[in-house]
């Protein structure tokens, strides 16, 4: 395992311990409402602090882009830019309700390219990892995207709009278009795990909009290293900035573009 990935795994496991401990004392933490249906918890902040502490101890000059603390620039201007992109608890609404589908997502971006990825599910003790050019793994077992070729046979994951400012009506049209053409549509509630599941072949594809870089960064590398494709609804780049993302194996990716491209914000 790449040394930097090793440190990221250590950070993810530390955060997992904090999250698991908190889930056992479920009524012992305070929940505040940040926005409609968008919760933030003390656990989020404690997990993020543990991740950043672990990474900073190993790489004090690196930068960070994290959900709770925002952006901290790297302290080595003019040199290679290393930025860790962190979601300490993706799926907080699930977590608050004790619905066991949430994860920790950590990715390293080097000069704009994601080179290391960890998605850790503390409920199942499943560790998804990838290094650019080195493949994607689940608990040391090599991952490949599913090999299905027909949309009608596919299980597709998605995310529903969860804030008042997101266009629910348009999403319902997309939902209808997609659900009538695939074998099943699922909305588990943690984008980083949905992406990891595409890499593992557990779902054939995934689409969502309104995401943040920390929801996507690690999952994207898992998928490309497992032989899948990632793009926006038109199948193009720019998804990390726009938050509109679609992923699948190459054959299904093309079929998803046919269904979703008319909904792309890039049009």
For 3-140, CATH number? Answer: 3.30.540.10
Please give the structure tokens belonging to residue 260: 């979703």
pTM summary value: 0.93
Mean pLDDT of the chain: 91
- What whole-number percentage of the chain has pLDDT above 90? 76
Q: For domain 151-263, which architecture applies?
A: 3-Layer(aba) Sandwich (3.40)
CB contact at 8 A, 22 and 43: yes
Taking the C-alpha atoms of residue 76 and residue 80, their distance in angstroms, rounded to an integer, is 8
More confident residue, 212 or 166: 212
Sorted by where each begins, the domain ranges of the chain are 3-140, 151-263
What is the pLDDT at residue 24? 77
**pLDDT tens-place string over residues 223-236:** 999 999 999 999 99
Chain centroid to Cα 223, Å, comes to 11
What is the pLDDT at residue 67? 87
Q: Which of 36-50, 141-155, 163-177 has the lowest mean pLDDT?
A: 36-50
Question: Is the pLDDT reported for residue 29 higher than 80?
Answer: no
Q: Which residues contact residue 54 at a Cβ distance below 8 angstroms, ignoring those fewer than 6 apart?
A: 7, 10, 11, 14
pLDDT class for 87, splitting at 50, 70, 90? very high
Q: Which residues contact residue 229 at a Cβ distance below 8 angstroms, ignoring those fewer than 6 apart?
A: 223, 235, 247, 248, 249, 250, 253
**For the chain, how far is it from start to end, CA to CA, in angstroms?**
41
What is the pLDDT at residue 209? 93
**pLDDT tens-place string over residues 161-207:** 776 666 788 899 999 999 999 999 999 999 999 999 999 999 999 99
């Amino acid at each position: 395992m790449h040394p930097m990935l090793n440190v990221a795994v250590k950070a993810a496991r530390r955060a997992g311990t904090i999250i698991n401990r908190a889930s056992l004392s479920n009524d012992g933490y305070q929940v505040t409402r940040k926005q409609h249906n968008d919760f933030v918890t003390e656990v989020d902040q404690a997990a993020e602090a543990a991740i950043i502490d672990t990474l900073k101890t190993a790489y004090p000059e690196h930068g960070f882009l994290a959900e709770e603390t925002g952006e901290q620039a790297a302290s080595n201007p003019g040199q290679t830019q290393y930025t860790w992109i962190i979601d300490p608890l993706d799926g907080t609404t699930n977590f608050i309700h004790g619905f066991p589908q949430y994860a920790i997502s950590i990715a390293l971006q080097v000069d704009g390219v994601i080179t290391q990825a960890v998605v850790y599910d503390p409920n199942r003790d499943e560790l998804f990892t990838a290094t650019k050019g080195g493949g994607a793994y689940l608990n040391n077992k090599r991952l490949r995207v599913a090999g299905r070729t027909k949309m009608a046979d596919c299980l597709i994951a998605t995310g529903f709009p969860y804030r008042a400012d997101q266009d629910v009506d348009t999403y319902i049209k997309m939902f209808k278009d997609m659900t009538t053409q695939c074998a099943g549509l699922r909305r588990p509630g943690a984008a980083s795990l949905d992406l990891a599941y595409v890499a593992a072949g557990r779902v054939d594809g995934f689409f969502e909009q309104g995401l943040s870089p920390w929801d996507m960064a690690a999952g994207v590398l898992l998928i490309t290293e497992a032989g899948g494709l990632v793009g926006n609804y038109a199948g193009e780049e720019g998804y990390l900035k726009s938050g509109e993302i679609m992923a699948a194996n190459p054959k299904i990716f093309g079929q998803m573009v046919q269904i979703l491209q008319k909904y792309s914000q890039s049009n």
